[in-house]
Structure 1
């Protein structure tokens, strides 16, 4: 080794790394657009639009995508991944096209094409829906895809009345799913499309820790069914729907979604915010620690990982996205043989923000304020 005469500088890369952010407002939508061309909107292919009005132009005037994209645009101009499918000979055949499949050549079709968005487009859809398609098999398939994408699905609770909607709701137990009832009066699929757009808007303006509920919906002129609502929430249609984990559509100072609940059979994920917070935190932690993969596994690397993770979690807490969170290394879970084999286990926990779903105000009548009246001479 030659002698070195002078000053040599070695760059070190230890310490806490900057935290990543979560891209939660990307919409993934599936539908039909017979007037679209294969150049503008190829079939069964995820197509990225950063301007929703370009997506509206590409979809043309017919099919389910045209109205759905306009309804989303009424709320926000988000990043959208669009998958166009063909109309079948009957509704059942179209549903099959919407659900999609994996061909013998490995090509994903229909909603399954959303799974290819990351590799083909560099984005992952997180707000998933197929406005205008509410069959149980379609909704169930979308929920499976949402789970794979760490996303969330909005879908209709099918039924001509509340009792039928509740029966339909009983067929689901997925945490990644919120059901809506009834429908807005303009077109079939309007509620789902507007929920998707509103979700993206809230993510951008407030954050993923705020639920869809009690936020004004734009571009709506009526409901398909009358829904009795009272802010007191006693014996109303809206409260009956909410009791069955169905989000109600109401008119109260404008049109709004009223409900915070998912279809989860796990109480910890009963709230929409719990599910979406979990997905967002997972993405942030994964991306914040990507740099550590394949680094030499030393105690200093473990410390840097924990410090970086805790810095990311503290940031989320200080910004109000989480109530609390922490990351730690547990030696009991990391045997020397496992560490020597390149395997490391790190733990973290978090507390998501629960929505203020029920507010009780105690009212009392009293005569004590008469004592404040001054004597009259």
Structure 2
């Protein structure tokens, strides 16, 4: 339609800002049989002085109980005997009809109300309301009518089984796991490094070894729900105490590939270097194999116990992310929170034959003592020189996921046009320049693939973009060449 005036149009074809995804989220699977349960919502009416106090309680624990309401209305006498006390529950509202005498005066006692409410039948899957008299209340006092009142104080179970739950660096939240099982000790090791974001999946405890393994595997599957339920995707996957089992290790490796994450696997107690190296040959470029166990002083008993290293290693990784950056290796950095090692691998600077170096060359990480305990090892379980460094793998994961997320949110399903291509390339190249400036990568660029972006592919709704990135490898070996220079500092022997 024509307009006599000024028409306002917005141009949204400019490049979009790309934000780097959070790489410092730990995914943790384990047991906690003593974890805190949920709290049922409650409502107290009446008075102990009048002997008519009633406590209404949701039939199931959880925050959903806070949506329930209760009211009491006076009944209408329809006979010489007056009205009877009754209850009805509909649309989350419990309506109590209070009994009366022949003249219509309310005479329903608290005990009558409790009996009427508890006579209601609720389906197992539906939340209802129970009623009870507090201790010391006989319930003979008359209940007065009252308007709608909501139940309060309902809280969901903080760590429901097989469901991702978030601990945001809080020791108080971790204590809700209880002290049984493995999860509390794992969180203790992590939080000794830094207040990390941890997606926790609690699984059932079973005395049967095979059943317990199945529970852990089911918990690992639940890690993939972190993004959709908590808006956090786990990037460092661990299952301390369980990842010594290769069935669990392979499940963690598979989940790491799906989440663009790294799995840290523990070695069995007192495992020999040879056994650890042999095991590492089963895994690939999404797994870091850890050799030692660490001696940790329990905050519960004060006793020193040998613990799997993976939880502390995960916390250590997050701490290095925070203090230096996710593109830094965590190797040759001090690890906190333990007093010693279950097994000590021989280590001497510059010695190719020491056990620590041999483990590193076989793609196994260990711990060495060098002004404190240091993580020693850069490599994942692959011999591919381009992908064997954890720092390189995580850098590429961060860049790939960040670009993918931006392209999905900003450009997917937009009409294909020249301006679309210009905007996409502008967004990606701007982001890569930011990463170069920030010291994350050496260089990077994006361009449209001329060979693949044919008339047919564009008509089919497919756009091809090439991205080349130069990540920073860690300086794993520094070669220093020395020579004696006889031409400087000569001493004169002349008289």
TM-score, normalised with respect to structure 1: 0.92
Is 1:233 aligned to 2:351, yes or no? yes
1:195-234 per-residue CA deviation (whole Å, 9 max, x = no partner) reads: 1001111112211211121111111100111211112132
Partner of residue 246, structure 1: 364
Paired residues of 1:156 and 1:179 also in contact (CA < 8 A)? yes
**C-alpha distance in structure 2 between counterparts of 1:143 and 1:160, whole Å:** 21
**What secondary structure is seen at the aligned counterpart in 2 of 1:349?**
strand
More moved, 84-93 vs 339-348: 84-93
Task: Provide the aligned C-alpha RMSD in A.
Answer: 1.8
Tell me which of 188, 199, 204 is aligned to 1:81: 199
CA contact (8 A) 1:52 1:69 kept: no
Could you tell me how far 1:21 is from its partner in structure 2?
1.3
- 1:7 corresponds to which residue? 6
After alignment, is 303-312 or 266-275 more displaced? 266-275
Contact kept, 8 Å, 1:71 with 1:190, in 2: the verdict is no
Query: Would the alpha carbon gap of residues 268 and 128 (structure 1) be closer, same or farther in structure 2, given more than 3 Å must change?
Result: same
Q: Secondary structure at the match of 1:331?
A: coil
CA distance in 2, matches of 1:221, 1:244: 27
Name the structure 1 match of 2:247.
137
Q: Is the 8 A contact 1:261 1:271 kept in 2?
A: yes
Cα 1:12/1:361, change in 2 over 3 Å? same
Deviates more, 1:360-369 or 1:222-231: 360-369
SS in structure 1 at match of 2:4: coil
Structure 1 pair 298–188 and aligned structure 2 pair: CA distance change class (3 A) = farther
CA distance in 1, matches of 2:292, 2:481: 33
Cα distance in 1 between the residues matched to 2:18 and 2:494: 68
2:226 & 2:451 partners in 1: Cα distance? 39
- Alpha-carbon distance in structure 1 between the residues aligned to 2:432 and 2:459: 28
2:91 corresponds in structure 1 to none
Residue 20, structure 1, aligned to residue 19, structure 2: yes
d(CA) in 1 for partners of 2:24 and 2:254?
19
Distance 1:354 1:259 in 2: 13
Structure 1: 5+ residue runs without aligned partners? 101-109
Residues 100-150 of structure 1 deviation map (CA, whole Å, 9 limit, x = unaligned): 1xxxxxxxxx11111111111111111110111111111111010011011
Q: Which has the higher helix share?
A: 1
> Is 1:91–2:202 an aligned residue pair?
no
What CA distance in whole angstroms lies between the structure 1 residues aligned with 2:215 and 2:223? 14
User: Which residue in the other structure is 1:354 paired with?
Assistant: 473
Q: How does 1:279-290 map to 2 (within 5 A)?
A: 279-289=397-407, 290=409
Which structure shows the higher strand fraction? 2
Quick one: distance in 2 between partners of 1:312 and 1:152? 24
Deviations 1:139-172 (A, max 9, x none): 1110100110111111113462111111221222
Question: Aligned residue for 1:363?
Answer: 482
Aligned length in residues: 365
Paired with 1:202 and 1:185, the residues of 2 have a C-alpha distance of 22
Q: Which residue of 2 aligns with 1:325?
A: 444
> What is the alpha-carbon distance in structure 1 between the residues aligned to residue 457 and residue 417 of structure 2?
13
- Aligned counterpart for 2:290 among listed residues 163, 167, 180: 180
Q: For the Cα contact (< 8 Å) 2:306–2:342, is it kept in 1?
A: no
1:1-377 matches, within 5 Å, as 1=1, 3-38=2-37, 39-100=157-218, 110-133=219-242, 134-158=244-268, 160-172=271-283, 174-186=284-296, 187-289=305-407, 290-371=409-490
Q: Which moved more, 1:51-60 or 1:110-119?
A: 51-60
Q: Secondary structure at the match of 1:332?
A: coil
1:245-300 per-position Cα deviation (integer Å, ceiling 9, x unaligned): 00011111111110001012533211111211121111111123230112111011
Structure 2 length-normalised TM: 0.71
